[in-house]
């Protein structure tokens, strides 16, 4: 596995190394030993999977508040997504900055998103399946988010006029 640093501290793109033969391929999607070699701590407490049926759908921008803040590793198993992480760590020199990466079934890339980041994605194809490895259990009373269209972040979503849930339409805007 290759851990590629992004411009936001603690946020990594993970490129798995595929072993390919005439049967298909083999790859690791999680290896605690390789994380530790790269000075990263991550314990899986929960695994989630979503199916998003329609192209252009945005799910996000979500996070859990402390004391249930979570690290997550996100992978697109089927289809393609524009995956976005926003640094919301108070005092961080990159507070309010974001990184986006296309994750898809062909490139097999993953995004390791640390505590203190909001996360969301937009589907680039129909029927996208996403898998999440979580370092914390989901606790509804700590679930939160920020608005996907907040001008403070000015995220360049690839598909205009997205499909959104009522909850995701109504996350608050950040006040400066």
User: CB under 8 Å to 33, separation ≥6 — which residues?
Assistant: none
Residue 24: strand pairing partners: 21
Residue 130: strand pairing partners: 50, 76
Name the pairing type of β-strands 143-145 and 80-87: unpaired
Q: Which residues are catalytic?
A: 62, 132
Q: What share of the chain is helix, strand, coil (3-state, %, to 5)?
A: 5, 40, 50
Nearest to 11 by CA among 77, 94, 91: 94
């Amino acid at each position: 596995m290759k851990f590629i640093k992004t411009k936001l501290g603690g946020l990594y793109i993970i490129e798995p190394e595929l072993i390919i033969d005439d049967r298909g391929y083999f790859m690791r999607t999680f290896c605690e030993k390789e994380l530790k070699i790269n000075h990263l701590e991550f314990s899986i407490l929960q695994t989630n999977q979503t199916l998003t049926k329609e192209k252009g759908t945005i799910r996000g921008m979500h996070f859990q508040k402390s004391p249930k803040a979570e690290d997550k590793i996100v992978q697109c198993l089927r289809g393609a997504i524009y995956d976005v992480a926003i640094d919301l760590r108070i005092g961080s020199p990159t507070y309010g900055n974001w990184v986006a990466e296309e994750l898809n079934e062909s490139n097999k890339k993953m995004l390791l998103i640390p505590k203190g980041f909001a996360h969301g994605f937009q589907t680039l194809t129909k029927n996208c399946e996403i898998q999440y490895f979580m370092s914390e259990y989901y606790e509804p009373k700590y679930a939160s988010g920020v608005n996907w269209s907040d001008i403070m972040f000015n995220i360049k979503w690839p598909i205009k006029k997205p499909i959104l849930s009522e909850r995701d339409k109504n996350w608050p805007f950040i006040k400066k």
